[in-house]
Amino acid sequence: MASVELRQVVKSYDGKSNVIHGVDLHIEHGEFVVFVGPSGCGKSTLLRMIAGLESISGGDVVIDGKWVNDEPPRNRDIAMVFQDYALYPHKNLYDNMAFGLRLRKTPEAEIKSRVMDAARLLRIDHMLDRKPAALSGGQRQRVAIGRAIVRQPKVFLFDEPLSNLDAQLRGEMRTEIKKLHQRLGATIIYVTHDQVEAMTLADRIAVLSAGRTMQYAKPSDIYNTPAATFVAGFTGSPPMNLLPCRIDGASAMLGSQAILLPAPLAARAAGLHEPIFGIRPENITLQPHDDCASVEARVVLTEPLGAETLVTLEIGGREMVARCSAAFARAPGEAFPVYMHRSHMHLFDGANGLALH
């Protein structure tokens, strides 16, 4: 295990415009950190810079206390698992997993011990004589992970390893990777565009946008106290409702509808020129409760999902989504009061997108 530090890391391909803008991150020994963000946000580039597969234009990368900016990948003691598995099609699974150790002239007895231990851990020990073509996508990914495990590196790097799998298999492999981390206690840096993967796997999440870190925190903090509208809108399924409003005393006004804000939030919002009101779908309910704000709503659309129903509501001329029970049965056009948890309301500065925390 090892810690990883990124200190004001910058990447530029033309020497003029940066694609990574001064990223600062500290990853602890044994921590599972996920880089998440939309395509093109720089997360894979950042991972490849840690691996040594991309040069660094500025700043420092430190692995286990050692400055590694100019070190080649083989000297960084990392193992990388790629999106496309990168297995040798002409070699069986045993030889695929053993290949890197043989290049390092590891004794054959030790190679066998490491390969068999990893194969048993990943439940592929019964198929080591097969070639990759005979395997499913999930099995191939297990082999790719096993090849990384036998290296016994200080840091594991995963670059969107599940994106080629179907939804069910992706969920199963996500569980396996989390169990693997618990067993190995390894330092893992994992890249994905899937916020569900990020929320379920990570000890901490770095949310990236356009080469910048928008927030670096525990999953619960990312979800409950997003630092910016980008983070609020990227996490959650469906994501947080984000609506322009105006502040009138202690209330956020959506059209003619007044939503009574918590007093501390209202005080910080005074003088805000472009406020954005935010609330997550599960914090809009049909029953009154302690410390809630009541508003009139009209049903626009219902989406039954089996265990729950997503309901699009019109409130003050604006639409927002509520997460309701499966028994929700109101028809489109029907009006009724809904209740918002005041302790779960958010306000953002529309000029810079930052939260008023």
* 268 or 7, which is more confident: 7
State the residue range of the domain holding 252.
242-349
User: Is 332 part of a structural domain of the chain?
Assistant: yes
Q: What value does the mean pLDDT take over residues 295-303?
A: 95
Mean pLDDT (the chain, rounded): 92
Residues 297 and 323 in one domain: yes
User: Is 222 part of a structural domain of the chain?
Assistant: yes
Q: For the segment 87-100, what is each residue's pLDDT rounded down to a tens digit?
A: 899 999 999 999 98
Is residue 285 scored above 90 in pLDDT?
A: yes
- Ranking 48-52, 83-87, 211-215, 262-266 by mean pLDDT, the lowest is 83-87
Q: Select from 234, 257, 292 the last residue of a domain.
A: 234
pLDDT for 106:
93
pLDDT for 315:
93
Residues 284 and 222 in one domain: no
pLDDT for 172:
84
Is residue 208 scored above 90 in pLDDT?
A: yes
Q: What is the dihedral of CA 64, 113, 202, 3, to 10 degrees?
A: 0
Name the pLDDT band for 162 (thresholds 50, 70, 90). Answer: confident
Task: Give the CATH number for residue 310.
Answer: 2.40.50.140
Residues 104 and 219 in one domain: yes
Residues 274 and 295 in one domain: yes
Task: Give the CATH number for residue 224.
Answer: 3.40.50.300
Residues 268 and 171 in one domain: no
pLDDT for 330:
92
Give me the phi and psi of 219, to 5 degrees please. Answer: -55, -40
Give me the phi and psi of 92, to 5 degrees please. Answer: -75, 175
Q: What number of other Cβ atoms are within 10 A of residue 17's Cβ? A: 8
The single residue listed with the structure tokens 């045993």 is: 94
Number of domains the chain contains: 2
Is residue 15 scored above 80 in pLDDT?
A: no
Residues 209 and 269 in one domain: no
Name the pLDDT band for 83 (thresholds 50, 70, 90). Answer: confident
Is residue 348 scored above 90 in pLDDT?
A: yes
Q: Select from 211, 234, 257 the last residue of a domain.
A: 234
**How does DSSP classify residue 354?**
B
Residues 9 and 103 in one domain: yes
User: Is 356 part of a structural domain of the chain?
Assistant: no
Q: What value does the mean pLDDT take over residues 128-156?
A: 91
Buried b / exposed e over 130-166, threshold 16 CB at 10 Å, is eebeebeebbbbbbbbbbbbbbebbbbbbbbbbeebe
Task: Report how far residue 51's alpha carbon sits from residue 53's, in angstroms, rounded to the nearest whole number.
Answer: 6
This model's pTM is above 0.85: yes
